[in-house]
């Protein structure tokens, strides 16, 4: 363990300023400053507010992480940062901070992919990832099935949502039900008192001819809104717990069925679930039951590591150092639409990214 890398990771892709410090696969600190309350009254994340909040929180959060870990910045073996995907202005704050620290401390800089970080964080909880690993990533911005044979170089997308992300559907349904923002945790809690079989909401892209690994949650969201609207128009009380439970059941049914199918089709016997929606209690329960039945080992990090945090970026950075992967150049740029296949942003890639950004 002594020669395992000590890496600080910075995450600012959305509304969480996360700074984590990892030694090998051991988590030493996970400091988070969230601006979620500043966005609540708008019903969604406001990019400009998020960027300003990152700027204010950045240095104190880095200091807090170093203090908690009990390490000096000069002891670090590298600085990792989310280079994308995410909100452009928000990412830029993290990338600029990471560059400044790496430059001043003379440490290697690793610009890494947010989605690969969501997968790699599980190493902090369950040890090194088996190769290959299937990953179901479900958050406010993403719903994807990814197959990885090496988390530092190879993440292959098998399927993704064609419209709303799973977390987005939770947030929108919560708004329809008047439950507040973010919707996932409150729908999860409310659903505990409801009947998941009360209302048969649609399961998107589940017919035989539909793409096996893609998702669609927009029709489900609309179906819930219509159902609630009809009740209200009829002057009847909306059974909020039943609607929450039945909606949640439809989402988790599709997610877990497709994830298990992807494992079976590709001969993969390890499934990890990450992203904010992986905190969902019913998703965890149903995934466990279906994986047990299919002989698949399920790995889900604890809820605090599933939502956006700096530890996940540090976890991937640490793995990059351990495997001797090339650091990023100091012309590293934030890329709001960084493809999932680009696990890290290597040397001198500025022109490739600028070029892609110019494409329509
Ligand atoms: O990964 P994350 O923190 O940020 C993104 O990258 O999007 O995910 C946030 C999303 C939100 O949509 C939130 O409603 C959802 O994760 N979420 C949940 C739960 N906790 C958070 N969804 C369902 N059940 C939960 N318990
Ligand atoms: Zn995320």
Amino acid 272: pLDDT: 98
Minimum-distance ligand 1 atom for the alpha carbon of 189? 26
pLDDT at 42 over 90: no
Q: pLDDT tier at 288 (50, 70, 90 boundaries)?
A: very high
Measured CA to CA, the distance from residue 341 to residue 116 in angstroms comes to 9
pLDDT band at 141, cuts 50/70/90?
confident
Specify the range with the lowest mean pLDDT, choosing from 247-261, 301-315, 340-354: 340-354
182 CA to middle of ligand 1, Å? Answer: 7
Examine the pLDDT at 354 and tell me if it is beyond 50: no
pLDDT at 48 over 90: no
| 359 Cα–ligand 1 center, Å | 30
Which atom of ligand 1 lies nearest, measured to the CA of 139? Answer: 8
Question: Greater confidence, 145 or 140?
Answer: 145
Domains of the chain (ranges, CATH numbers)? 6-121+309-358 (3.30.420.40), 129-303 (3.30.420.40)
- Does any ligand 1 atom lie closer than 6 A to the CB of residue 275? yes
Report pLDDT for 249. Answer: 98
Measured in whole angstroms, the distance separating CA 121 from the mean position of its chain's CA atoms is: 10
Return d(Cα 111, Cα 116) in angstroms, integer: 12
Q: Is the CB of 165 under 6 A from ligand 1?
A: no
pLDDT tier for residue 360 given thresholds of 50, 70 and 90: very low
Tokens in use for 324? 């001797």
Q: Please, what is the average pLDDT of the chain?
A: 94
Per-residue pLDDT, 2:
55
Q: What is the mean pLDDT of residues 176-183?
A: 92
Could you check whether the bond before residue 85 is cis, i.e. omega within 30 degrees of 0? yes
Distance from residue 118's CA to the centre of ligand 1 (Å):
12
- Please choose from 245, 302, 307 the residue to mutate so as to test ligand 1's pocket, defined by most ligand atoms within 8 A of CB: 307
243's tokens: 């609607």
**Total Cβ atoms within 10 A of residue 99:** 18
Query: Is ligand 1 within 6 A of the CB of residue 5?
Result: no
For residue 112, give the nearest of 356, 338, 276, 355 by alpha carbon: 338
Q: What global pTM score does this model have?
A: 0.92
| Closest residue CA from atom 10 of ligand 1 | 140
Residue 96 has pLDDT above 60, yes or no: yes
Q: Is 11 in the pocket of ligand 1 (CB under 6 A)?
A: no
d(CA 161, CA 88): 21
Distance CA 246, CA 195 (A): 7
Query: What average pLDDT score do residues 135-164 get?
Result: 96
Instruction: Report the DSSP pairing between strands 133-138 and 16-23.
Output: unpaired
The model's pLDDT over 54-87, given as tens digits with 9 standing for 90+, comes to: 999 999 999 999 999 999 999 999 999 999 999 9
- What is the mean predicted confidence (pLDDT) over 334-352? 81
| Distance (Å) from CA 238 to ligand 2 centroid | 32
Distance, in Å, from the CA atom of 245 to the CA atom of 226, rounded to the nearest integer, reads 16
- The residue whose CA has the least distance to atom 3 of ligand 1 is 307
Give 185's pLDDT tier (boundaries 50, 70, 90).
very high
Probe residue for ligand 1, chosen from 276, 281, 309 as the CB with the greatest number of ligand atoms within 8 Å: 276
Q: Which of 114, 139, 311 to mutate to test the pocket of ligand 1 (most atoms within 8 A of CB)?
A: 139
Average the pLDDT over each of 17-26, 41-50, 167-176, 344-353 and give the range with the smallest value.
344-353
User: How high is the pLDDT of residue 348?
Assistant: 54
DSSP H helical segments within 106-162, as ranges? Answer: 114-120, 123-126
């Amino acid at each position: 363990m002594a020669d395992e890398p000590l890496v600080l990771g910075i995450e600012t892709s959305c509304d969480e300023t996360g700074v984590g410090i990892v030694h090998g696969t051991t988590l030493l600190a996970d400091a988070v400053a969230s601006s979620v309350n500043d966005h609540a009254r708008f019903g969604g994340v406001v990019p400009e507010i998020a960027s300003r909040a990152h700027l204010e929180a950045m240095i104190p959060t880095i200091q807090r992480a170093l203090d908690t870990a009990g390490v000096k910045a000069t002891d670090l073996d590298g600085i990792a940062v989310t280079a994308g995907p995410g909100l452009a202005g928000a990412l830029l704050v993290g990338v600029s901070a990471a560059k400044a620290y790496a430059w001043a401390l003379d440490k290697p800089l690793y610009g890494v992919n947010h989605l690969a970080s969501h997968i790699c964080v599980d190493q902090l909880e369950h040890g090194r990832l088996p190769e290959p690993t299937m990953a179901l990533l479900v958050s406010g911005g993403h719903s994807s099935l990814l197959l990885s044979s090496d988390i530092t170089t190879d993440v292959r997308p098998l399927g993704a949502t064609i419209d709303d992300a799973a977390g987005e559907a939770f947030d929108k349904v919560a708004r329809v039900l008047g439950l507040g923002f973010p919707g996932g945790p409150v729908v999860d809690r409310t659903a505990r008192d409801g009947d998941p079989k009360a209302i048969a909401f649609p399961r998107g892209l589940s017919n035989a001819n539909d793409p096996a690994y893609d998702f669609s949650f927009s029709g489900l969201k609309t179906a819930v809104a219509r159902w609630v609207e009809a009740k209200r128009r009829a002057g009847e009380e909306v059974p909020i717990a039943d609607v929450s439970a039945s909606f949640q059941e439809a989402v988790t049914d599709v997610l877990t069925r497709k994830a298990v199918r992807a494992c079976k089709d590709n001969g993969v016997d390890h499934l990890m679930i990450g992203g904010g929606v992986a905190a969902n209690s019913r998703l965890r329960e149903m995934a466990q039951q279906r994986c047990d039945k299919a002989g698949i080992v399920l790995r889900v990090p604890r809820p605090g590591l599933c939502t956006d945090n700096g530890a996940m970026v540090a976890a991937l950075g640490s793995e990059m150092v351990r495997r001797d992967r090339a650091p990023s150049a100091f012309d590293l740029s934030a890329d709001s639409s960084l493809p999932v296949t680009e696990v890290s942003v290597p040397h001198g890639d500025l022109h490739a990214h600028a070029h892609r950004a110019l494409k329509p």
